Amino acid sequence: MNFPVFFSRKIAFSKDNKNNLSKVIVYIGRVSVALGIIVSLITVATGLGSKKAIENRISNFSGDITVKSTRSNNSYNSSILDQKGLNLKALKSLDEVAGVQSYATVSGILRTEKNFSGVILKGVGKDFDRARFQSFMVAGEIPKYDEDGYNNNVILSDKIAKDLSLKPNDSIVAIFSKEDQKPIYRKFRVSGTYKTDIKLVDDLYMIGDINHVRKVQNLNDGEIGGLDIFLKDNSNMTKDYPIIEKYIGYKNYAERVIDRYPQILDWINIFNQNISLIITIMLLVVVINIVMVLLILIIERTNSIGLLKTIGATNGQIRAIFINYTLMIMVPGLIIGNVIGIGLLLLQKYFGIIKLDPENYFISTVPVDLNPIHILSISAGILIISGVAMIIPSYIISKISPVKSIKYD
């Protein structure tokens, strides 16, 4: 066995450590490492979990990439998607694409006897991904929109439904305005309610039959206002975007969901900054504590250093002994920190103990992303960086004189 490793193990597992200053030093070192691991794990798992949850929610509602007409403006009334150059069949067959659904939108007002609310009717057709939308449903059911006649069933957001005191199976009157014409009135049945926790969506959108939008907008059968494209892996959105553009026609344009909702993109970027900042701070705290532990151990064992030098041990070997010894102190801290950190994260993941205000955070509970690679990377990173950081302070060993150190009391 390697001499430094053998000797450091002897020191680390010696019973003498229970009766001297080493006991306190070992305790401080392990606690600092455990706390560093716990905070780092929670920061990364909840930060990345929140980022992924927000991206997935808005993508599952609006698509990862939306195709619109270049004639579209800031109005909520969608313009007709130009069919020239649009290859819908090719889009659906792309390996990167999980699904495509058509839609058209028009703004209107929902009115009850006591209240009213502005809405955007998002009309969908027979290609509407009902299974994907099911995760948003709070009550009721999702109608089947087959574009055969007019389906009067709509899905309201839970917020709009509560504001208007509506529930599934209730009726509601919608008013749509047309330029230079009288308002159009439509009576709908509330088939169900949904909740995305995305305020920009829940405050506005009502899902209904695309034929109602076509009627209000004077669109012909088959004409649509846009396409929602769902990717198999939305983390590749930037890479897949130019592939999508090839099949949409030159009079249409593609828009990524992160560009469509810049407020959400800004919020997601905050997660990245916070994760980096907290990990850096915790790493500094752990490294400083471990370096201090090493220095105290060197001072405490000055006599041992002198004896080792007397019997022929080199400064490099002695440095390796103390660095190995300190790393052995860290290992129990790493194990304890991972057990506690992962345990807390599992409780949150499966029981949703910590709640959030969706109006401020876009999500109602703190989500958790337990990625084994991230867990291993945090532990390995702390071990490696701490080991490297201890090399410089360990050079104090070369300054210790064997003669003086043996007399040291």
Closest CA to 316 of 326, 302, 305, 300: 305
Closest CA to 229 of 389, 394, 62, 111: 62
The torsion defined by the Cα of 293, 299, 304 and 310, in degrees rounded to 10, comes to 130
Radius of gyration of the chain (CA): 31
The residue whose two tokens read 């574009």 is 147
- Give yes or no for residue 149 having a pLDDT over 80: yes
Q: Provide the pLDDT confidence category of residue 71 given band limits of 50, 70 and 90.
A: confident
d(CA 156, CA 161): 6
Higher per-residue confidence, 302 vs 376: 376
Span 352-376, average pLDDT: 87
Is residue 105 within 8 A of residue 125, CB to CB? The reply is: no
The residue whose two tokens read 């695309």 is 210
d(CA 203, CA 279): 36
Is residue 48 within 8 A of residue 369, CB to CB? The reply is: yes
Q: Provide the pLDDT confidence category of residue 12 given band limits of 50, 70 and 90.
A: low
Higher per-residue confidence, 327 vs 192: 192
d(CA 56, CA 308): 60
DSSP of 59-91: HHHH-SEEEEETT--SSSSPPPPP-TTB-HHHH
**pLDDT for the residue numbered 407:** 57
**pLDDT for the residue numbered 22:** 63
Q: Provide the pLDDT confidence category of residue 361 given band limits of 50, 70 and 90.
A: confident
Average pLDDT of the chain is: 86
Strand pairing report for 252-256 and 65-69: antiparallel
Please list, residue by residue across 211-246, b when 16 or more beta carbons sit within 10 angstroms of its beta carbon and e when fewer do: bbbbbbbebeeebbbbbbbbbeebeebeebbebbee
User: In whole angstroms, how far apart are CA 278 and each of 40, 179, 284, 374?
Assistant: 7, 54, 10, 15
Is residue 61 within 8 A of residue 101, CB to CB? The reply is: no
- Helix (H) and strand (E) counts in the chain: 15, 10
- 95 phi/psi in degrees, rounded to 5: -60, -30
**pLDDT for the residue numbered 275:** 85
Span 148-170, average pLDDT: 94
In tens, the pLDDT along 258-283 reads: 888 877 777 777 777 888 888 888 88
Span 350-373, average pLDDT: 87
DSSP of 186-234: EEEEEEEEE--S-HHHHTTEEEEEHHHHHHHHTPPTT--SEEEEEES-G
Higher per-residue confidence, 3 vs 353: 353
In tens, the pLDDT along 232-254 reads: 998 889 899 999 999 999 899 99
